[in-house]
Structure 1
Amino acid sequence: MGYDFTTLSPTDFEELIADLLSAEWGTQLEIYTEGRDRGIDLLYTRKIGVDTKAIIQCKRYGPKQRSQLLTAVKLEIKKLDRLLPQRYVLATSVALTNPNKDAIVDALKPYCLGTQDIYGANEINALLRKHKHIERAHFKLWISSTAILERVLHAGIFEVTGANVDYAIREIKKLVPHDGLNRALVVLKENNHVLIVGNPGIGKTTVARMLLCHLLKDEYEPIWITNNISEAWEVIGRAEQEKRKTVLIYDDFLGQLVFSSPRFAKNEDSSLFTLLDKVSESQYLKLILTSREYILEDAKRVHGVFSTNADSLVKATISLADYTEAARSKVLFNHLYFSDLSNERLIKILETKVYAKIVRHANFNPRVVETIAKAANSKHLDDDEYIRFIEHEFDNPAKLWRYPFDHEIDQIGRQILIAVASFDRDPLSNEIRAIILAMNSGESSEVLNSLFDRSLKQLVGNFLNSEYLPSAGSRECRQHTTLRFQNPSVREFVNEKILADPEWVLKIARSIQSFDQIETMIDLAEGIGSPIYHQDIWSVLGAAARRVQMTKHMYVMNCSDTHSFLGPYKAVFSHDYHLDKILARRLRIEGNLYPESQGFLDLKSALLKTDIWFEIFTAIQTDAEAMSGISDSVKCFTSRFGKNDGFLTQMRTVMRTAVIRILEKNIPTYVTEISELLELCEPLELTTLELLTIRHAIQRCVNEQTSSRSPETYYLDEDLSALRSLSSKLDIDLEDIESDLGNFIEAVEANSGDPEYEASTAPSSYRLEKENSLDIDQMFQGLRDRIP
């Protein structure tokens, strides 16, 4: 295939030529840093066959910009007269005809010895076909091929509204490999998984994207985990069965801004480490996780199992140290070169040399670089104000959004952002629309709908990203538009705005449309410092919770078509809220009202009813994640009423009665579920008849598992462990059942195995610029190539 090299910056192109000609000529080419006053950006070699000083100049233009190239080449003759090379070689991304080459040779006499020293796009592509290891080492080249780009889009590596090939190419152009990427590659290769950690904005997700691009070369299919780790188990069984290489990506798997207990549910920690074991032994699976370092430490503190096993997660830490001056310069240069900033603004950057201050700033941050390189974030500033703006923005990344929020978007736009922040998931645009209509109930709905559409268009691509998704089971019908903040710094800023003005909390609380908002609103209400608003907020939230408790729980998750060869796809799911979550969240609200409200007393009464607990426990019949939610809810009840409260003793007695009814109805499918249900009711005081009921339920679950035609070893191992624990805890003889299950697991494992694995063809690391070869001023003069 032939490349047009448009995904490469001038520096990327220069490095490619250095590698290609070094391989072709059998000698190491070096960066020729002539000095700022001479103003020439060249490569040279000491030997090409004989002891000859040769200068190789790289000119990266669009594929058809022949006239611009010839004009630029003619300007070089005076510089060559000063340098007096014995040989001059030109490498350019422009496709050249023989007459084009003849004209260049004439313009560069006597230094250019002939057309054999002119490397146009065709000649460079020929060298790439000859030296394939060079092509593999420059991933921004091969990822720009049509076939790979289509896979990039299908995999959702760059999530954005209306993502297309052009958008993917624009994002790829900005990528810069660094030491952190190479470390992550080594960890992934050696362990089949990697946990990428680092501070906010340091580039964790960018490294994950580059790893995905790397794996695409080896025919891996990326699958983004959007909800929780249970998604992975639904994917990997099919992937291994079909011998399909799959890489699972779980971005911010512990939460985006703080540790998220609901996202990292009760058994998700043990499920994760079981998945790690599975991935490490597989020849078809890889796993990439990302998390902020402080959130990782918080998770260790909160979760015992996670803390005990956390060392089995092999980390690659991305830090500011990975961004050497060379890497920083390339990050900034690429974002500026491929930005939508005006040429006048680029000229001002060159004139003031503000790029040097940014590159050497103590708080250099790739996310801030991305933000200052977007024209929309500074359109209210003139060029001089823009320079002052970017000089100070690295001190507080969140403040980047202050002026646009206060001055560039309208009131409806601000309300939309506040409403999006009231969800702990990606809300649907129609949900946000309903909130805005409720927040402005005195206005004309027709006018508000028009204002909403206009404001949302203004926000998407700046403050927000959106994505068009289908409902589960209807891949082709994309009727939902989900919204999310462009990056975590936007959410941080909006949250600060809400907490700084409690009126926002009241406005949202009065306009709540989904029970999915309640948890976030409780957290925001608890963060309000002013006691003046407390009772008003809790009263309004209580009324809202009662009003919306029957709304559907919406979430985005990967969905698989059983009979489709296309693989999983992201879709919008919905289901009724489980009763325990409704009670737990309402209890958190009512418990903050003084004196005790009637709603609080009603909730206490409900928790002492067997029918209520029976309904709560039946959720495990249809929802694999229900048990972890029930466990969290029971913790909430226990925390609210105190460990020694007589109320808790009564509640646990009612719960035990409900559990026995559940077992009699043959609802649990796994022994682990039986164990977890009984654990919720501890301490256990069981009758002989109840113990017999429990033993019968365990026997039934094992019989169902061992008679399955496609048993899942993960669940079998979990059940065996739970069975042994119950035998000890309840002091009942389960040896015969344990033996049957153990023998079955051995037989299943004996019949499983992985086929031969195809070796990787992608490089194990990427070429990095030598620090001592860098001339920042020289590099940024390359911005002039973008200016007509």
Structure 2
Amino acid sequence: MPDYSFLNLSPAEFEVLTRDLLQKELGLHLESFTSGRDGGIDLRHSRSRKREVIVQCKRYTGFASLKANLEQEVEKVKKLKPERYIICTSVGLTPGQKNQLLTLFNPFILAPGDIFGRDDLNNLLSKFPEVERSHFKLWLSSTEILQRILHSKIYNQSAFEEEKIKETVRLFVSNDSFGDGLKLIERHRYLLISGSPGIGKTTLARVISYHYLANGYEDFIFLSGSIDEAYSLYNADRKQLFLFDDFLGKTFLHLKLGRNEDERIIRFIERIAKSDNKLLILTTREYILAQARLSYEVFEKPAIRLANCILDLEGYTKQVRSKILYNHIFFSNLDQAYIENLLEKSSYQRIIAHKNYSPRIIETVLENISTIRPEEFVSKFIGYLDYQDSIWKHVYESQITPFSQLILANLLTAGTPIAMNDLELLIRAFAERFASKYGIVYSQIAFNKAITELENTFIRSSRDSKDKLVIDYANPSIQDFLVTYLNDLQDMMGDVIDTACFFNQLVSFFAYEGPGTPSQRPRRTHLAVTPYLATKLVNRLTQNFVELPSSTLKKRLNSNTEPYYYQVRRSVYNKLNFLRHSNLYTNNIAMRNFTLEFFKLIMIPNHVQSEDIGHYVSLVIYFHNEIPFEEEKILAALAPNIETLSDYHDFKQLEALYTETYAKFISKSAAYKEAVRQMVDWEAENVDTLDIRDFVDDIHAIVDHTKIDLANVIIDLEEKFQERDRDYDPDEIYDHDEDVRSEYRAEEENISDMFDSLK
């Protein structure tokens, strides 16, 4: 038999559950009424005014409080004079306690069996399991289901804890987004949840994930930073659920996605769509998705119907907004003085109707309730909504030390994730130069204390499988706030530039506005640079260009599919190409001149690595009209370093510039032909079985272009493809039963009565 406490349900949710159970048990239709001042009636079956069945639903934790409340209902019941009076409660009752209630409501309660305690309701749930399944918040938080979720194989997600799951489920309000999300992911096998910051994208993604993990999915794979993790952990034989939270976030804000990252994301989505045992959920902030569509044509591909899977969370109805606010208030154990301020003149209506309404703001206000006096609760709440960043501004200015503030200022320019050692390095450099100006003293103790202060509010720290300690933002909105806030502190930003230790600090987050030139970057994504700061940036970059390392981290998986971070190597070609795409280069002539003159010094490449071919070729194409190149020397230097298919295509771009020289070179160069053969062998050995057909097409194109004999490789791949094809049944794709899809609809409630019930 189930053993629910029912305390994860709000009073309104408990009432709906009770209604559904009693309708099954009694074979009666029960009318539902709004929460709050109900006149003694929660549910009613009425054949006539003199033949009414009235049900009262009471969600309490103990018998004493239950009885005290019911004693206030006696006079109401006497006036109503129902033919039959039924009590349903979340309190577990003894026979003696039932007899006390029977006596209290004599003669309206006909028998002890018309008093349904906790055990009785659980018994009805075992009798009517379809009711249990329809109330997903109930069963999703059961001990059995929680253990099933927690015993799934969890990758890359340290915050998969029982209390976190319970809290997420308890506060979640079922609405059209949940039902629509389930329909879309059942139809397409993937779901893209987009919306404004703090609207609840991650919460919705997690609840849908819990739903599927409770229903047979074996692996939960949390992705961050790159789609490469998904490819590495893909297991054709297991039921897997992938969650890529904020999938265009940090990577897109750093000017552009990695090489071919957009194509790899789309290709993985297409693979998921063809599977019958995989699901993929992606979330992204709406304004970033819009930028991605402008910059990457692939995100508009109609063939994959990506647009059909966009879930607009900004369409919350007023009743859903009300329930979200109500649930947060109800489960927060907020002091009654705050609730009185919220109820005064129905002030909660101003919050619900606010144009900047956001579940994240509600959560953050309640997390910082100790800083707000009860009499100013609503006014502060509205103030945070008027200026959404104000919640972070308040904490930044009033809750943390100057040392911690300076850590965040430097962290913004470096970007996350960042190794703790690198963060400490740049803070030490800043503090040693500007200690007296900002009234700080650097020490290991002071740094550790500041990190502890920022932990779980602004940042979170974690260790990878190689024991590297890494820092990231605790929340994507924090970076947005810091950009907006620090844009107005140009003097501090100048000091950060002066002590920058890493190349990415000087390029990634700065956008220069030249004289009379509007910024090409939205204010919330980049720091605006005045001409004065631009001069500082150029001087810092040009004087230390070769020596400046990168603090950028990327995630990889080791042989045991455990994640670890590695430092991104930035060669001079990588730096120049990265710089050339920056706003600073576009709008600053000194930066353009430096980039051109420096490239002239190194335009004949020596020991170019595979990962640099694309950067070098991009620079050659860009500067081909400004520099006389020695074509054959360049081709000879690059060719032996072709290691991947991407390198091959990057090298091939030079054909358009050096047509005759290129044709002669690839026909005669033994080093080029050997490099291409080895590249094809390596790619063929490592190609995914689902990508074989596309790769065979690539090889045919290489043969046509280079005249290199690759017949043996093609034959081997065709055999692999036929072997894969024997186990592949396309008829099973999209074989889903529309009739079994769950429907979740928010029930109409009277908002005033619901909030009045908080009294």
Report the TM-score, using the length of structure 2 for normalisation.
Answer: 0.85
Summarize the Cα distance change of 1:156–1:742 in structure 2 as closer, same or farther, 3 Å threshold: closer
Query: Matched residue of 2:249: which SS?
Result: coil
1:441 partner amino acid? E
Q: Which one of the candidate residues 241, 264, 271 is aligned to 1:271?
A: 264
Aligned to 2:318: 325
In the TM superposition, residue 303 of structure 1 has moved relative to its aligned partner by: 2.2
Taking the aligned partners of 1:470 and 1:656, their CA distance within structure 2 comes to 40
Tell me if the contact between 1:161 and 1:466 (Cα under 8 Å) persists in the aligned partners. no
- Aligned partner of 1:749 in structure 2 is 724
Q: Distance in 2 between matches of 1:415 and 1:763?
A: 54
Partner in structure 1 of residue 636 of structure 2: 657
Deviation of the 1:671 alpha carbon = 4.5
Among candidates 420, 423, 430, match of residue 432 of structure 1? 423
Q: Single out whichever of 348-357 and 281-290 deviates more from structure 2.
A: 348-357
How do 1:689-768 and structure 2 match up within 5 A? 690-691=666-667, 693=670, 694=672, 697-702=675-680, 708=685, 712-727=688-703, 730=705, 732=707, 736=711, 740=715, 743-753=718-728, 764-768=741-745
Residue 492 (structure 2) pairs with residue 504 (structure 1):
yes
Extract unaligned runs of 5+ from structure 1.
473-477, 563-567, 620-625
Provide the rounded CA distance (Å) in 2 between the counterparts of 1:701 and 1:637.
23
How do residues 491-530 of structure 1 correspond to structure 2 at under 5 angstroms?
491-523=479-511, 527-530=527-530
Work out which of the residue numbers 278, 289, 304 in structure 2 matches 1:296.
289
SS in structure 1 of the partner of residue 168 of structure 2:
helix
Q: Structure 1 counterpart of 2:451, which letter? A: L
1:607 to 598, 602, 605: 602
Q: Is the 8 A contact 1:57 1:90 kept in 2?
A: yes
Q: Which amino acid in 1 is paired with 2:54? A: I
Query: 1:350 and 2:343 equivalent?
Result: yes
Pairwise CA distance, 1:52:
4.8
Structure 2: 5+ residue stretches without partners:
514-525
Identity %: 23
**d(CA) in 2 for partners of 1:403, 1:338:** 24
User: For each residue in 1:465-494, what CA deviation from the matched residue of structure 2 results, as whole angstroms up to 9, or x when unmatched?
Assistant: 41423234xxxxx56253314242x32221
1:171-250 paired onto structure 2 within 5 Å: 171-220=168-217, 221-236=219-234, 239-240=235-236, 243-250=237-244
Helix, strand or coil for the counterpart of 1:209? helix
Q: 2:276 is paired with a residue of what secondary structure?
A: coil
Q: Would you say 1:60 and 2:59 are equivalent positions? A: yes
- CA drift of 1:192 comes to 0.8
Segment of structure 1 superposing worse, 246-255 or 718-727: 718-727
Which residue is 1:779 aligned to? Answer: 754
- Give 3-state SS (helix, strand or coil) of 2:380's partner: helix
Task: Report the counterpart of residue 475 of structure 1 in structure 2.
Answer: none
Q: Distance in 2 between matches of 1:308 and 1:175?
A: 33
Q: CA deviation at 1:750?
A: 2.5
116-125 or 443-452, which moves further after superposition? 443-452
Partner of 1:361: 354
Shift of 1:500: 1.4
Equivalent position to 2:403, from 383, 404, 412: 412
Alignment-mate amino acid for residue 17 of structure 1: T
Q: Counterpart amino acid of 2:479?
A: R
Instruction: Give the SS at the match of 1:528.
Output: strand
**Could you list the per-position Cα deviations for residues 600-626 of structure 1 after superposition, in whole angstroms to 9, with x for gaps in the alignment?**
577314531231xx4232x4xxxxxx7
User: Which position in structure 1 is the counterpart of 2:8?
Assistant: 7
The Cα of 1:573 is off from its aligned counterpart by 3.7
- What does 1:568-587 align with in structure 2 at a 5 Å threshold? 570-574=563-567, 576-578=569-571, 580-585=573-578
Q: CA contact under 8 A between 1:510 and 1:544: conserved in structure 2?
A: no
Instruction: Give the drift of 1:268.
Output: 2.3
**Alpha-carbon distance, 1:249 to partner:** 1.4
518 and 141 in structure 1: CA distance in 2 versus 1, 3 angstrom threshold: farther
1:356-399 Cα distance to aligned partner (Å, 9 max, x none): 2222334433222222332x1x5433222222122343333123
Match of 2:381 among 380, 390, 410: 390
> How many angstroms apart in 2 are the aligned matches of 1:193 and 1:408?
41
CA contact (8 A) 1:197 1:291 kept: yes
TM-aligned CA distance change 1:781 to 1:152, over 3 Å: farther
Cα drift, residue 227 of structure 1: 2.0
Does the aligned pair in 2 maintain the 1:505–1:537 contact within 8 Å? Answer: no
Q: CA deviation at 1:436?
A: 2.9
Cα distance between partner residues in 1 of 2:619 and 2:20? 61
User: C-alpha displacement at 1:327, in angstroms?
Assistant: 1.0
- TM-score using structure 1 length: 0.82
Q: Residues 396, 22 of structure 1: CA spacing in aligned structure 2 closer, same or farther, 3 A cutoff?
A: farther
| Partners of 1:422 and 1:517 within 8 A in 2 | yes
Task: Name the residue aligned to 1:677.
Answer: 651
The equivalent position to 2:465 in structure 1, one of 459, 468, 471, is: 471
Distance in 1 (CA, whole Å) between partners of 2:333 and 2:615 is 48
How far apart, in 2, do the equivalents of 1:90 and 1:763 lie? 34
AA partner of residue 603 (structure 1): F
How many positions carry a matched residue from both structures?
733
Matched residues in 1 for 2:498 and 2:492: separation?
A: 10
Q: Could you tell me how far 1:644 is from its partner in structure 2? A: 2.7
Tell me: CA distance 1:727–1:338, structure 2 relative to 1, closer, same or farther (3 Å): same
Larger displacement relative to structure 2 (750-759 or 383-392):
750-759
Greater alpha carbon shift after TM alignment, 404-413 vs 580-589: 580-589
Q: Secondary structure at 2:531's aligned position in 1?
A: coil
| CA 1:226–1:454: 2 relative to 1, 3 Å | same
Please tell me whether the aligned partners of residues 246 and 286 of structure 1 are also in contact (alpha carbons under 8 angstroms).
Answer: yes
Q: How many Å separate the matches in 1 of 2:654 and 2:318?
A: 55
Aligned mates of 1:634, 1:154 — CA distance in 2? 49
Indicate if the aligned counterparts of 1:653 and 1:681 stay in contact, CA closer than 8 A.
no
Displacement of 1:553 after TM fit?
A: 4.1
CA shift in 2, pair 1:595/1:577, >3 Å:
closer
Relative to structure 1, the CA distance from residue 51 to residue 82 in structure 2 (aligned partners, 3 Å threshold; closer, same or farther) is closer
Structure 1's 315 and 686: CA in aligned 2 closer, same or farther, altered over 3 A?
same
SS in 2 for 1:2: coil
Per-residue deviation, 1:353? 2.2
Q: 1:167 to 1:306 in 2, by over 3 A?
A: closer
1:646 and 2:622 matched: no
In structure 2, relative to structure 1, the CA distance for the partners of 1:595 and 1:482 (3 Å cut) is: closer
Distance 2:52 2:616 in 1: 76
Shift in CA distance, 289/762, structure 1 to aligned 2, threshold 3 Å: farther
- Partner of 1:484 in structure 2? 473
Amino acid at match of 1:778: D
Question: How far off is 1:297 after superposition?
Answer: 3.3
The farther-off stretch of 251-260 and 343-352 is 251-260
Name the residue aligned to 2:111. 114
Amino acid at match of 2:753: Q
Partners in 2 of 1:28 and 1:341 — Cα distance?
A: 36
Indicate the RMSD between aligned Cα atoms, in angstroms: 3.9
